[in-house]
A and B are shown apart, each in its own frame.
Chain A
Amino acid sequence: MSGTGYQGKNSIPHLTSERLLIKGGRVVNDDQSFFADVYIEDGLIKQVGENLVVPGGVKVIEVNGHMVIPGGIDVNTCLMKPYLGTNPVDDFLQGTKAALAGGTTMIIDHVTPQPGDSLLDAFECWQEAADKKACCDYSLHVDIPQWNETVKDELELLVHEKGINSFQVYMAYKDVYQMSDSELYEAFSFLKQLGAVVLVHAENGDLIAQEQRKILGMGITGPEGHPLSRPEELEAEAVFRAITLGNRVNCPVYITKVMSKSAADTITQARRKGSVVFGEPITASLATDGSHYWSKNWAKAAAYVTSPPLSPDPTTPDHLHTLLACGDLQVVGSAHCTYSTSQKAIGKDDFTLIPEGTNGVEERMGFVWDKAVAMGKMDENQFVAVTSTNAAKIFNLYPRKGRIAVGSDADIVIWDPNSVKTISAKNQQSASEYNIFEGLECRGGPVLVLSQGQVVYEEGKLQVQQGTGRFIPRKHFPDHAYQREAEQEAVTRGMYDGPVYDVVPTPKYITPAPSAKSSPTSHQPPPIRNLHQSNFSLSGAQTDDNVPRRSGHRIVGPPGGRSNITSLG
Chain B
Amino acid sequence: MSYQGKKNIPKITSDRLLIKGGRIVNDDQSFHADIYLEDGVIKQIGDNLIVPGGVKTIEANGKMVIPGGIDIHTHFQMPYRGTTTVDDFAQGSKAALAGGTTMIVDHVIPEPGSSLMEAYDQWRQWADEKACCDYSLHVDITHWNDSIKQEVDNLIKEKGVNSFQVYMAYKDYYQMSNSELYEIFTFLAERGGIVQVHAENGEIIAEEQARMLQMGITGPEGHVLSRPEELEAEAVFRAITIASQTNCPLYVTRVMSKSAADIISQARKRGNVVFGEPITASLGTDGTHYWSKNWAKAASFVTSPPLSPDPTTPDYLNTLLSSGDLSVTGSAHCTFSVSQKAIGKDDFTQIPEGVNGVEERMTLIWDKAVTTGKMDENMFVAVTSTNAAKILNLYPRKGRIAVGSDADLVIWDTDSLRTITAKTHNSVAEYNVFEGMELRGAPLVVICQGKIVLEDGNMHVTSGVGRFIPCAPYPDYAYKRVKARKQLAVLRAVPRGMYDGPVSEFSMSRGGTPSASARTSPTKQPVRNLHQSGFSLAGNPASGHGLLRKPI
Which residues in B have their C-beta under 8 angstroms from that of A291?
A: 545
- Beyond A207-B245, A348-B499, A353-B517, whether A536 also contacts B491 by CB under 8 A is no
Residue of B nearest to A543 (CB): B430
Contact of B534 among A185, A210, A298, A342 (CB under 8 A): A298
Contact assessment for B537 and A500 in the assembled complex, using a CB-CB cutoff below 8 Å? no
Query: Residues 170-184 of chain A: 1 if any B CB is under 8 Å from the residue's CB, otherwise 0?
Result: 000011100011100
Is A147 among interface residues, defined by CB-CB distance under 8 A?
no
Complex Cα spacing A553 to B213, Å: 29
Give the contacts of A207-238 with B (CB-CB under 8 A).
Answer: 207, 209-213, 215-216, 218-222, 224-225, 228, 231, 233-234, 236-237
Contact assessment for B543 and A228 in the assembled complex, using a CB-CB cutoff below 8 Å? no
For the complex formed, measure the closest distance between the CB of B176 and the CB atoms of chain A, giving whole angstroms: 11
Contact assessment for B546 and A294 in the assembled complex, using a CB-CB cutoff below 8 Å? yes
Complex Cα spacing A218 to B548, Å: 14
Complex Cα spacing A298 to B537, Å: 10
Complex Cα spacing A65 to B544, Å: 45
- Beyond A425-B537, A491-B221, whether A498 also contacts B201 by CB under 8 A is no
Which residues in B have their C-beta under 8 angstroms from that of A418?
A: none
Give the contacts of B191-210 with A (CB-CB under 8 A).
Answer: 201, 203-204, 206-210
Is A61 among interface residues, defined by CB-CB distance under 8 A?
no
Contact of A346 among B219, B349, B517, B547 (CB under 8 A): B517
Residue of A nearest to B178 (CB): A206
Contact assessment for A539 and B423 in the assembled complex, using a CB-CB cutoff below 8 Å? yes
Which residues in A have their C-beta under 8 angstroms from that of B126?
A: none
Contact assessment for B342 and A500 in the assembled complex, using a CB-CB cutoff below 8 Å? yes
Contact assessment for B499 and A299 in the assembled complex, using a CB-CB cutoff below 8 Å? yes
Give the contacts of B509-541 with A (CB-CB under 8 A).
Answer: 509-518, 521, 534-539, 541
Complex Cα spacing A445 to B234, Å: 42
Q: Which of B13-21, B235-243, B355-363 contacts A (4 or more CB under 8 A)?
A: B235-243
Complex Cα spacing A516 to B501, Å: 70
- Beyond A349-B517, A536-B296, whether A503 also contacts B179 by CB under 8 A is no
Complex Cα spacing A294 to B544, Å: 7
Most buried by B among A186, A348, A504: A348
Contact assessment for A248 and B204 in the assembled complex, using a CB-CB cutoff below 8 Å? yes
Is A541 among interface residues, defined by CB-CB distance under 8 A?
yes
Which residues in A have their C-beta under 8 angstroms from that of B347?
A: 511, 513-515
Q: Which of A81-89, A136-144, A365-373, A401-409 contacts B (4 or more CB under 8 A)?
A: A81-89
Is A1 among interface residues, defined by CB-CB distance under 8 A?
no
Contact assessment for A425 and B173 in the assembled complex, using a CB-CB cutoff below 8 Å? no
Is B502 among interface residues, defined by CB-CB distance under 8 A?
yes
Contact of A501 among B83, B179, B233, B538 (CB under 8 A): B83
Contact assessment for B245 and A231 in the assembled complex, using a CB-CB cutoff below 8 Å? yes
Which residues in B have their C-beta under 8 angstroms from that of A515?
A: 343-347, 350
Complex Cα spacing A488 to B348, Å: 15
Q: Which of A105-113, A159-167, A329-337, A544-552 contacts B (4 or more CB under 8 A)?
A: A544-552
Is B216 among interface residues, defined by CB-CB distance under 8 A?
yes
Which residues in B have their C-beta under 8 angstroms from that of A509?
A: 170-173, 206, 349
Contact of A343 among B210, B422, B504 (CB under 8 A): B504
Contact assessment for A503 and B343 in the assembled complex, using a CB-CB cutoff below 8 Å? yes
Residue of A nearest to B507 (CB): A85
Give the contacts of B422-451 with A (CB-CB under 8 A).
Answer: 422-423, 428, 430-432, 435
Which residues in A have their C-beta under 8 angstroms from that of B545?
A: 224, 291, 293-295
Give the contacts of A509-567 with B (CB-CB under 8 A).
Answer: 509-516, 521, 535-536, 538-542, 544, 546-548, 550, 553, 555, 564, 566
Is B377 among interface residues, defined by CB-CB distance under 8 A?
no
Complex Cα spacing A495 to B342, Å: 11
Complex Cα spacing A312 to B550, Å: 12
Give the A-B contact count at a CB cut-off of 8 A.
335
- Beyond A85-B507, A347-B517, A539-B423, whether A564 also contacts B539 by CB under 8 A is no
Complex Cα spacing A438 to B512, Å: 34
Is A297 among interface residues, defined by CB-CB distance under 8 A?
yes
Is B480 among interface residues, defined by CB-CB distance under 8 A?
no
Complex Cα spacing A181 to B208, Å: 12
Query: Residues 127-160 of chain B: 1 if any A CB is under 8 Å from the residue's CB, otherwise 0?
Result: 0000000000000000000000000000000000
Q: Which of A42-50, A121-129, A239-247, A278-286 contacts B (4 or more CB under 8 A)?
A: A239-247
Residue of A nearest to B299 (CB): A496
Most buried by B among A206, A424, A553: A206
Is B319 among interface residues, defined by CB-CB distance under 8 A?
no
Is A459 among interface residues, defined by CB-CB distance under 8 A?
no
Is B3 among interface residues, defined by CB-CB distance under 8 A?
no
Contact assessment for A294 and B339 in the assembled complex, using a CB-CB cutoff below 8 Å? no
Which residues in B have their C-beta under 8 angstroms from that of A186?
A: 207
Which residues in A have their C-beta under 8 angstroms from that of B345?
A: 495-496, 500, 515
Which residues in A have their C-beta under 8 angstroms from that of B537?
A: 299, 341, 425, 433-434
Complex Cα spacing A503 to B82, Å: 6
Is A156 among interface residues, defined by CB-CB distance under 8 A?
no
Complex Cα spacing A425 to B536, Å: 13
- Beyond A176-B510, A247-B230, whether A544 also contacts B430 by CB under 8 A is yes
Most buried by A among B233, B237, B423, B502: B237
Is A390 among interface residues, defined by CB-CB distance under 8 A?
no
- Beyond A207-B182, A295-B539, A509-B349, whether A490 also contacts B219 by CB under 8 A is yes
Contact assessment for A244 and B225 in the assembled complex, using a CB-CB cutoff below 8 Å? no
Which residues in A have their C-beta under 8 angstroms from that of B498?
A: 348
For the complex formed, measure the closest distance between the CB of A514 and the CB atoms of chain B, giving whole angstroms: 7
For the complex formed, measure the closest distance between the CB of B230 and the CB atoms of chain A, giving whole angstroms: 5
Is A461 among interface residues, defined by CB-CB distance under 8 A?
no
Which residues in A have their C-beta under 8 angstroms from that of B242?
A: 207
Which residues in B have their C-beta under 8 angstroms from that of A228?
A: 491, 547
Complex Cα spacing A499 to B228, Å: 30
Contact of A244 among B234, B296, B349, B534 (CB under 8 A): B234
Complex Cα spacing A503 to B502, Å: 68
Which residues in B have their C-beta under 8 angstroms from that of A213?
A: 514
Which residues in B have their C-beta under 8 angstroms from that of A485?
A: none
Contact of A218 among B346, B491, B517 (CB under 8 A): B491
Is A493 among interface residues, defined by CB-CB distance under 8 A?
yes
Is B4 among interface residues, defined by CB-CB distance under 8 A?
no
- Beyond A343-B504, A501-B343, whether A300 also contacts B539 by CB under 8 A is yes
Residue of B nearest to A183 (CB): B203
Is A272 among interface residues, defined by CB-CB distance under 8 A?
no
Which residues in A have their C-beta under 8 angstroms from that of B507?
A: 84-85
Complex Cα spacing A396 to B198, Å: 42
Is B291 among interface residues, defined by CB-CB distance under 8 A?
yes
Residue of A nearest to B291 (CB): A491
Which residues in A have their C-beta under 8 angstroms from that of B119?
A: none
Contact assessment for A294 and B514 in the assembled complex, using a CB-CB cutoff below 8 Å? no
Which residues in A have their C-beta under 8 angstroms from that of B491?
A: 215, 218, 220, 228
Contact assessment for A185 and B245 in the assembled complex, using a CB-CB cutoff below 8 Å? no
For the complex formed, measure the closest distance between the CB of A261 and the CB atoms of chain B, giving whole angstroms: 12
Complex Cα spacing A512 to B547, Å: 51
- Beyond A206-B178, A489-B217, whether A292 also contacts B506 by CB under 8 A is no
Which residues in B have their C-beta under 8 angstroms from that of A300?
A: 536, 539
Which residues in A have their C-beta under 8 angstroms from that of B179?
A: 206-207, 209-210
Contact assessment for B510 and A345 in the assembled complex, using a CB-CB cutoff below 8 Å? no
Is A11 among interface residues, defined by CB-CB distance under 8 A?
no
Q: Could you jot down 8 A-B contacts, CB within 8 Å?
A: A244-B201, A343-B506, A353-B513, A353-B517, A491-B292, A514-B350, A515-B343, A564-B339
- Counting from the closest, the 3 A-B pairs by CB-CB distance are A294-B545, A175-B512, A206-B178
Identify 13 new A-B residue pairs, CB closer than 8 A, beyond the known A176-B511, A488-B212, A500-B345: A175-B511, A207-B179, A294-B543, A298-B496, A345-B503, A348-B499, A424-B538, A508-B81, A515-B345, A538-B430, A539-B422, A547-B428, A566-B296
Interface residues of A (CB under 8 A from B): 83-86, 114, 174-176, 180-182, 185-186, 204, 206-207, 209-213, 215-216, 218-222, 224-225, 228, 231, 233-234, 236-237, 240-241, 244-245, 247-248, 291-301, 312, 340-343, 345-350, 352-353, 424-426, 433-435, 438-439, 488-491, 493-496, 498-504, 506, 508-516, 521, 535-536, 538-542, 544, 546-548, 550, 553, 555, 564, 566, 568
